Amino acid sequence: MTGDDLLVLHTLRCIGFAGPCRIAAATGMTESEVESELIDLGVAGLVTHLPGEFGGWGLTDAGRAADADRITGELDSAGARTALTAAFEGFLVLNPELLDLCTAWQLRSVEGLMTANDHTDPSYDGRVLDRFAEFHRRAAVVCAELAAAQPRFGRYETRLTEALQRAAAGALEYVADDVASYHAVWAELHEDLLATLGIPR
């Protein structure tokens, strides 16, 4: 297993149950390319499809085992484990700060009480977005280190940048509410790192 089929399989492992559109956005492939790979992976018994309005694709137990074996082999054959582990440590330093930023985006203090942020105060939202932008400058450094160790990690920095740009342009759901939001992509990156390094949750 090499190339696009592994990329699709591993992406499903990181994002969970999903349709071709979301997988395409995560991988940078076209939907038709993704669908072709999913069909082949399905024939091989590595993924399964649930039809219907809320249907999609997910890994089978065999698919999860195959991905774990192939991803570990890829990492070790590239001699990238030490570099990726070091970059992961940088990610772990940033992770609590990202979670705090998401909390600040979703909740705010009003007269000493925490309440849901209804996003009717653009100055407050602007301050939080400024903090996200500052955070992203440091996150981009970590993403570059990850990509240097394993090139496929380079897609995350692109997706995080796109999410932040959309949020700054007024599409506020791209901070923490959309499946392509900054928070969602960061969570996928976290899952990818754990899966690649073989670290249990």
Q: Which of 8, 2, 18, 100 is nearest to 56 (CA)?
A: 18
pLDDT digits (tens, 9 = 90+) for 115-129: 999 999 999 999 999
Q: What is the pTM of this model?
A: 0.92
pLDDT at residue 2, rounded to an integer = 52
pLDDT digits (tens, 9 = 90+) for 41-65: 999 999 999 887 778 999 999 999 9
Mean pLDDT of 153-179: 96
pLDDT digits (tens, 9 = 90+) for 77-134: 999 999 999 999 999 999 999 999 999 999 998 878 889 999 999 999 999 999 999 9
Residue 1 has pLDDT above 80, yes or no: no
Q: Mean pLDDT, the chain, as a whole number? A: 93
pLDDT at residue 29, rounded to an integer = 93
